[in-house]
Amino acid sequence: MITNNSSETKKLGHKFTKKLKPGNVVLLYGDLGAGKTTFVQAIAKGLGIKDRILSPTFVLQRSYKIEDSSIRYLNHIDLYRIEDPKDAKELGLSELISDKESITIIEWADRLKNLNPKMGFEIYFKYKGENEREIEIKKI
């Protein structure tokens, strides 16, 4: 799909939220500024999270509690700054990925091999022009 501004990407993210089930992992791929965090913000809003979603670039991981839903948490991970695959262990990444009651979204998923989630989606973001992005959603 093509979006022509960030609100269109947010609309897409909001619509995509309906496809999410507890235990799903969403792997996001694409360069800096391609729209990954924008998309995550829309998902958070779609799940009823009122906190502002910041890019977890410096913290690597943040969890947001979801009220009145079969989904308990939205775990947002950004692997941009991960330097050593061993850091993933410290992050408790495999526990988050296998958390059957939450949704785990991972930006820069290509920074780690062998994430191997069982259920969820892979989403590819491509910068096409100042406000144009190509977004491809694949089911895992």
Which is nearer to ligand ADP, 3 or 24 (by Cβ)? 3
Token duo for residue 117: 């989630």
Cβ atoms 2, 131 nearer than 8 A = no
Residue nearest ligand ADP (C-beta atom):
35
Instruction: Find where tokens 């670039």 sit.
Output: 57
Cβ atoms 38, 10 nearer than 8 A = yes
Site string for Mg ion, 28-57 (x = CB under 5 A): --------xx-----------------x--
Cβ atoms 33, 108 nearer than 8 A = no
Q: Compute the distance between CA of residue 123 and CA of residue 20 in angstroms, rounded to an integer.
A: 13
Site string for Mg ion, 58-97 (x = CB under 5 A): ----------------------------------------
With CB under 5 to 8 Å by kind, the binding choice for 104 among ligand ADP, Mg ion, none is: none
Token duo for residue 8: 């269109």
Asked if 38 is part of the footprint of ligand ADP (rule: CB under 6 A), the reply reads yes
Q: Compute the distance between CA of residue 53 and CA of residue 92 in angstroms, rounded to an integer.
A: 20
Report the nearest approach of ligand ADP to the CB of residue 108 (Å): 9
* Residues in contact with ligand ADP by the rule CB under 6 A: 3-6, 8-9, 30, 32-38, 55, 107, 125, 131, 133
